Amino acid sequence: MQVELRKKYLDLLDTLRSYGSVAVAFSGGVDSSLLLYAAREALGDNVLAVTVRTPSYPGHEARDAAQLLRELKIPHFEIGVDQLAVPGFAENGPERCYYCKSALFETVVEMAGMYHCSCVADGSNIDDEGDYRPGMKAIAELGIKSPFREVGLTKEEVRLLSREFELFTWNKPSYACLASRIPYGEVITAEKLQMIEAAEQILLDLGFAEMRVRCHGKLARIEVAESVIEKIAQPQLRRKIVEAFRKAGFLYVSLDLEGFRSGSMNDTLTDK
């Protein structure tokens, strides 16, 4: 391990120890998985993993979360939250993520209090500060700790540390919540979230790990890495995807020639 990276990790452990005890908001993604691992090393049994299950939480993420929890043997609680009932969420305005994060983290804070954890921590890193992320405001208002940001860890460094500690999540693509696939201003419904999840699972099963299915009404806009655009456009595979997407509920299926872009829906915002 690089000297500078090792120092950051030791600083991370010191930061976590200073909490005394912690409830980790755990999704099964790259960031929260490393945070949970480090919290266990720093605090031993004084760690609780809390997962909030919502209509926009992909099933494959839940399966990865369950696998890591079996490996780390950490107490875990799941909380169900109906995002569609959260005021301001389904309307899908630019502040959607703020309303959602407020509601979700309020439940995690409540769970942390029930089990006498001194604080709640999330896995956001310093790279998360560069994009339009209104959810960060909600995290700050609720006093959520972000230890990766406190010690200056980047996404790439989180991956390097995860690989060092042999966490299977180290090279997982990043997955935002399914609601982020729907353009701002288009109402979010349970049906649309189910269609998106089914369509993305189809692509995952076909080996396309870095991808998004953007939902524009009944039209699906597929984003994949530029390096595999020619592959996914092959006639036989294309027909297979179209047929499967129609079974999932889409009438039209398109391929974005610009390729995968994380947060591409933010392009519609003129004043962030």
- Residue 203 pLDDT level (bands cut at 50, 70, 90): very high
pLDDT tens-place string over residues 13-22: 999 999 999 9
Domain boundaries in the chain? 3-171, 178-268
pLDDT tens-place string over residues 81-112: 999 999 999 999 999 999 999 999 999 999 99
Least confidently predicted of 48-57, 116-125, 126-135, 237-246: 126-135
Average pLDDT over residues 148-158: 96
- Residue 56 pLDDT level (bands cut at 50, 70, 90): very high
Nearest residue to 44 via CA among 16, 68, 71, 65: 16
**Averaged pLDDT of the chain:** 93
- Give residue 180's Cα distance to chain centre: 10
pTM of the entire predicted model: 0.90
Task: Decide: 147 and 15 in contact? Cβ < 8 Å.
Answer: yes
According to CATH, the topology of domain 178-268 is Alpha-Beta Plaits (3.30.70)
What is the predicted pLDDT for the residue at 133?
80
Q: According to DSSP H, which parts of 167-267 are helical?
A: 190-205, 229-232, 235-248
Has 100 been annotated as catalytic?
A: no
What is the predicted pLDDT for the residue at 129?
77
Nearest residue to 179 via CA among 111, 255, 92, 249: 92
Phi, psi of 224 (to 5 degrees): -130, 165
CATH architecture assignment, domain 3-171: 3-Layer(aba) Sandwich (3.40)
Residue of 97, 100, 177, 215 with catalytic role: 177
- Residue 174 pLDDT level (bands cut at 50, 70, 90): confident
What is the predicted pLDDT for the residue at 197?
97
272, pLDDT greater than 50: no
